[in-house]
């Protein structure tokens, strides 16, 4: 078993690049447009997709960071699970561009489903990685881990896959509802686990 420093450095790199690449998908209107302000306003689906994806990747980074304040050791399975998680993160700039290009067009539903499906996959992988690290009596967690804090992460992540599955299903009812669910979920995962879980927090310093 090795330390997690390079795993975190590599992941920070992927998160930072994926979140910065999102901006490349927003097109710059041509020099010869007569009304630039209106042209920029017309591109609202691009800004919307950019903002949702930025929030998602940023908040997933915060969650990765949170998990790895508890995870201190690494092994080959963890490296592979983390790599799969990074695969999910790397796909987001593509599904974001897809959403931006097809919102308001014939392919909008397909785009929303693909977009939310990526997040469903990422939520699943977050669960897998965390559960693996916490398995066998927390064999990859810090020796002095706050078990209650760890338990609260487990509880919060439990909601992820089902909630994103609902977001996907909602696409057949209303695209707005589907995307809105996605946004609400991003905020839910931004909330520290101590407020998001049902575990009654005792009075003590959290890790």
Nearer to a copy of itself, 101 or 180 (CB): 101
Which residues fall within 8 angstroms of residue 34, CB to CB, at 6 or more apart? none
Other CB atoms within a 10 A radius of the CB of residue 132 amount to 18
SS3 99: helix
Shortest CB 75 distance to a copy of itself, Å: 9
- Cα 158–chain centre separation: 14
Q: How many residues does the chain have?
A: 207
Shortest CB 122 distance to a copy of itself, Å: 14
d(CA 23, CA 91): 14
Nearer to a copy of itself, 105 or 136 (CB): 105
Nearer to a copy of itself, 20 or 176 (CB): 20
CA-atom Rg of the chain in angstroms: 19
For binding to a copy of itself (CB under 8 A), which residues are involved?
Answer: 2, 6-10, 12-24, 26, 28-37, 39-40, 54, 58-59, 61-62, 65, 68-69, 76, 79-80, 83, 86-87, 90-91, 93-94, 97-98, 101-102, 105-107, 110-111, 114, 190, 192
């Amino acid at each position: 078993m090795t330390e997690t420093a390079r795993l975190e450095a590599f992941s920070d790199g992927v998160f930072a690049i994926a979140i910065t690449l999102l901006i490349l998908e927003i097109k710059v209107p041509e020099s010869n447009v007569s009304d630039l302000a209106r042209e920029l306003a017309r591109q609202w689906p691009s800004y919307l997709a950019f903002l949702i994806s930025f929030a998602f990747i940023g908040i997933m980074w915060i969650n990765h960071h949170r998990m790895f304040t508890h995870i201190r050791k690494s092994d080959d399975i963890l490296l592979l699970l983390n790599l799969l998680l990074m695969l999910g993160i790397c796909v987001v700039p593509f599904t974001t561009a897809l959403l931006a290009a097809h919102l308001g067009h014939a392919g909008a539903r397909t785009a929303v489903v693909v977009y939310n499906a990526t997040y469903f996959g990422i939520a699943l992988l977050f669960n897998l990685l965390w559960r693996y690290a916490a398995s066998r009596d927390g064999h990859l967690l810090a020796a002095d881990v706050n078990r209650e804090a760890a338990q609260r992460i487990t509880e919060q992540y439990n909601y992820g896959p089902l909630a994103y599955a609902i977001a996907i299903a909602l696409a057949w009812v209303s695209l707005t509802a589907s995307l809105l669910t996605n946004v609400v979920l991003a905020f839910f995962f931004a909330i520290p686990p101590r407020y998001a879980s049902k575990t009654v927090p005792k009075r003590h310093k959290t890790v």
